[in-house]
């Protein structure tokens, strides 16, 4: 009998805990008698947003709640982007608990993907910024002044790790990449932004450009550099195949990049040196292909000028390609220790090692031939 009572009590406690964990936002009661007329359970990161919209003053009181296993090692943020969807240009509120147990809450304008959530003034008035920690739940409060006749905003919510009271980059996959949408304060409607499609195109763009410009192009150059020391013309066909494949794959990735830049595949991605180098590479690759097709015959005196131009342009293109691959990694915050960069560094290092070995073999072969010729001349 006692065992049945214990089992019943355990099951009751389990269901009560489950219900409490899944408590809808409108059942929450704030301390201090604060009340909010509207709320929405956000679809990711265990967040809920509560608000009171004041149409006469065009202001909105907001409270963002987030449940986490250990809020002491994490920061949370909520932002409005007044001009577009996405991270850059958003005006954020940031909160976290410092090592000494005190709460820090401040405003931070996001001007680039490399932001470290520095303090700064927002583009619209904000007051009453504060936060509290209740158990494993962090709550952030603020009052925002919206532009006239504005009730719908593009908003984002986010979380990430803390290292020494400094916010670090949030994860680049999973729920962290879908935590944005359009919110209507008046109607209480939330439309989640479908960013997964855009993110997939970014991944495809990165893979194609890294494979084409960043790897196959150097492979083709290495074949041309070291293949001549072996008999036959198989090296030339392999060189042409590698370079044509690199250009076509890189061209596909470049077209996707341009479409992402223009916003044709989702929210527009801001321009920068990475995009300008990419467009330059498309032009250089096309020029290299045309020049290679129109190369002079071996016996032509102009062939030496073609070789100089072709090699200079080729090595310059390869240098820009590798640099742009790393710029692309930097744009999406893929640091050296992340597996995409580790894989690419390992691949390009292996290619460089093989090229150095082949260069040594070539030098040895040329030296041996010169010695044999010199020995024959002395005889």
Binding-site members are 205, 239, 274, 310
* CA–CA dist 196, 201 (Å, integer): 9
* CA–CA dist 256, 316 (Å, integer): 23
* CA–CA dist 191, 184 (Å, integer): 9
3-state secondary structure of 352: helix
Strand duo 137-145 + 152-163: pairing: unpaired
Contact 209, 282 (CB under 8 A): no
**Nearby residues of 266 by Cβ (< 8 Å), 6 or more positions away:** 195, 197, 198, 201, 260
Output the DSSP codes for 201-226: HHHHHHHHHHHIIIIIHHHHHHHHHH
Helix/strand/coil (H/E/C) assignment for every residue in 75-96: EEEEEEECCCCCCCCCEEEEEE
Contact 220, 289 (CB under 8 A): no
3-state secondary structure of 231: coil
Contact 216, 283 (CB under 8 A): no
Distance of CA 199 to the CA centre of its chain: 8
Question: Per the annotation, where are the binding residues for heme b?
Answer: 205, 239, 274, 310
**Nearby residues of 265 by Cβ (< 8 Å), 6 or more positions away:** 197, 198, 201, 256, 259
């Amino acid at each position: 009998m006692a065992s049945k009572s214990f089992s019943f009590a355990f099951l009751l406690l389990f269901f009560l805990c489950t219900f409490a964990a899944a408590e809808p936002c409108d059942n929450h009661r704030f301390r201090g008698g604060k009340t909010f007329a509207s709320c929405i359970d956000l679809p990711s990161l265990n967040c809920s947003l509560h608000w009171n919209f004041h149409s006469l003053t065009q202001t909105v009181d907001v409270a963002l709640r987030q449940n986490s296993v250990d809020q002491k090692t994490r920061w949370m943020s909520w932002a409005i982007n007044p001009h577009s969807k996405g991270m850059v240009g958003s005006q954020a509120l940031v909160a976290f608990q410092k090592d000494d147990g005190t709460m820090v809450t401040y405003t931070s304008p996001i001007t680039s993907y490399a932001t470290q959530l520095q303090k700064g003034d927002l583009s619209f008035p904000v007051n009453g910024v504060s936060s509290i920690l209740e158990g494993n739940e962090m709550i952030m409060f603020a009052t925002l002044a919206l532009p006239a006749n504005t009730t719908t905003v593009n908003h984002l919510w986010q979380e990430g790790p803390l290292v020494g009271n400094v916010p670090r980059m949030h994860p680049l996959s999973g729920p962290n990449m879908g935590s944005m949408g359009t919110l209507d304060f008046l109607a209480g409607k939330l439309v989640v932004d479908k960013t997964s499609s855009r993110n997939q195109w970014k991944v495809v763009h990165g893979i194609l450009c890294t494979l084409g410009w960043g790897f196959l192009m150097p492979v083709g150059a290495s074949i041309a550099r070291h293949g001549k020391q072996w008999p036959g013309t198989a090296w030339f066909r392999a060189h042409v195949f590698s370079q044509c494949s690199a250009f076509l794959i890189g061209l596909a990735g470049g077209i996707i990049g341009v479409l992402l830049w223009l916003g044709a595949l989702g929210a527009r991605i801001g321009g920068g040196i990475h995009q300008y180098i990419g467009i330059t590479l498309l032009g250089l690759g096309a020029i290299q292909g045309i020049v290679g097709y129109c190369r002079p015959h071996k016996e032509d005196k102009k062939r030496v000028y073609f070789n100089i131009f072709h090699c200079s342009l080729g090595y310059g293109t390869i240098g820009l390609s590798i640099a742009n691959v790393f710029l692309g990694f930097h744009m999406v915050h893929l640091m050296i220790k992340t597996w995409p960069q580790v894989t690419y560094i390992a691949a390009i290092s292996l290619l460089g090692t093989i090229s150095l070995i082949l260069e040594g073999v070539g030098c040895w072969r040329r030296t041996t031939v010169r010695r044999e010729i010199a020995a024959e001349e002395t005889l």
